[in-house]
Amino acid sequence: MFMCDDNKKSVVLTNCRNRWKGFKTRLTRDYFVTQKKNEVEHPPWNIYSGITEDDWEKFKQIRESDEFKELSEQNRTNQQENEHPHRMGRGGYGHADQEYMRAKIKEALLSAPSSSGAESATSTSTVATRPRYIKWIDGRTDKKGLIPNPKTRLVVNTIHDLVEKEKVGEFIPVGSHDILTEALGNSEHGGRVRGIAGKANLTSFFKRKKRRQNEIMVPLKQLQEYAKLVRDQTIVELEVKWEQRTYEILKSCGITPPCDVEFKTRDFTPPFPNSSSVHSFEPDPFVNTSKDELPCELKVPGNRVVAKGVLCKHL
C-alpha cells in the first residue's frame, strides 16, 4: 500500500495511468503489431517480474480479440484524420517548453556581462512565455526549420496574416477564439487546449468564468454585423424623420410638395419616390415661366427634391 498526500493524489494517479497505458501499448507493439519480439525467444514473464504466464495469456486473448482489433483500426482511422500532426515525440508541448526555457536561460547566461546581470537574465527568461500559436508552429517544424506538411504551411501563413491584423486592430482575440483558433477554423475541444501541455483546459488557460444558464454567447463577427445593421437602420430612420419634418414645415408654409406620401419606417425604406416617378405623373412647374420668375427647388440630405417653386422678383 502506498500513502499519498491528498493534494498530490490526482497527479500521482494520472501519471500511474499514463505509465500503465504506455507499458501495455509497448507490449502490444512489440509482440503483436511489429512482432519485433516473440514470446518464445523473449517470454514476457521472464523479462518483467510483475507478469506471470497466466497474466500474459489473458492479455494475449484481449489483444487478439475481434473487439480490440476493431477498436485499434478505428483509432488508426482517427489518427489519419489529424491534418496537422506534431513532430515533438512523446514529450509533447511540456517537454518542448522545458527545452525552450533551457535554451533561453543558457543564452541569457552566456550574454550576461556580470553575475548580477546573469541572475536578472535568468529570472526574466524563466518568466517569459510564448503565445500558443508559436508553440503550435514549433511543434510541427522539423530539425531543419521546415514544415513538411503543405496543409500546415497554409495554416502558418494564415497565422502570420492574423498577427499583422491584430497589430492594426483588424482582428481582436476574444477568449478562446484567438489567433490559432481563427487560423485552424474550428473551436477548441472542451477537454484540452491546442498548443498547450495536456494538463491545461479551457477554464484554467483562458481564465473562463462559468457561464450562467441564461447567458448567450454570440460570435464576434455576428456582433459586428449586427452593429452595422443597427447603424444603417438608425441612419435611415433619421433621414425619414428629417424628411417627414421638412414635409410638415413646407405644408405649414403653404408650399405644396411634389406629391403626398405615406411615411413608413418599418422596412427602413426612404419614403420619397425618385425623380423619374415624380416627373412621370406631375407637370413640370418650370415651364412657361416669365423672365421675372426664377425656378427653384428645395432639397434634403441625400439630394432628394421635396418641393419645387418659383421665386418672384416682384410681388
Dihedral angle over CA of 273, 277, 282, 286, nearest 10: 90
Residue 31 pLDDT exceeds 60 = yes
Q: Are strands 293-300 and 304-312 parallel, antiparallel or unpaired?
A: antiparallel
Give yes or no: residues 39 and 63 share one domain.
yes
Residue 155 pLDDT exceeds 50 = yes
Top pLDDT among 179 and 281 is at: 179
Give yes or no: residues 244 and 305 share one domain.
yes
Top pLDDT among 118 and 36 is at: 36
Domain assignment of residue 56, yes or no: yes
Cβ count within 10 A of residue 146: 8
Give yes or no: residues 144 and 195 share one domain.
yes
Residue 275 pLDDT exceeds 80 = no
Nearest to 201 by CA among 192, 188, 209: 192
Give yes or no: residues 111 and 187 share one domain.
no
Q: Which three cell numbers stand for residue 180?
A: 490559432
Domain assignment of residue 81, yes or no: no
pLDDT of residue 56: 92
Mean pLDDT score, 184-211: 72
Domain assignment of residue 257, yes or no: yes
pLDDT of residue 269: 44
Give yes or no: residues 137 and 190 share one domain.
yes
Give yes or no: residues 37 and 105 share one domain.
no
Residue 287 pLDDT exceeds 60 = no
- pTM of this prediction exceeds 0.85: no
Cα separation, 132 vs 266, in Å, equals 48
Q: Of all residues in the chain, what percent carry a pLDDT higher than 70?
A: 71
Cα separation, 234 vs 242, in Å, equals 12
| Counted domains in the chain | 4
Domain assignment of residue 80, yes or no: no
Nearest to 95 by CA among 149, 139, 152, 143: 139
Give yes or no: residues 122 and 137 share one domain.
no
Q: Do residues 131 and 179 lie in contact, with contact meaning Cβ atoms separated by under 8 Å? A: yes
| Domain extent at residue 173 | 130-212
Of 115-124, 156-165, 215-224, 230-239, highest mean pLDDT = 156-165
Domain assignment of residue 173, yes or no: yes
Mean pLDDT score, 182-211: 73
Give yes or no: residues 107 and 65 share one domain.
no
Domain assignment of residue 82, yes or no: no
Give yes or no: residues 166 and 245 share one domain.
no
Q: What is the mean pLDDT of the chain?
A: 76
Give yes or no: residues 154 and 117 share one domain.
no
Give yes or no: residues 28 and 52 share one domain.
yes
The kind and range of the H/E element at 173 are none
Final residue before a domain boundary, out of 172, 192, 212:
212
Give yes or no: residues 228 and 308 share one domain.
yes
Domain assignment of residue 289, yes or no: yes
Cα separation, 261 vs 304, in Å, equals 14
Domain assignment of residue 267, yes or no: yes
Could you say which DSSP state residue 308 is in? E
Residue 71 pLDDT exceeds 80 = yes
- Digit-coded pLDDT (tens) for 162-174: 999 989 888 888 8
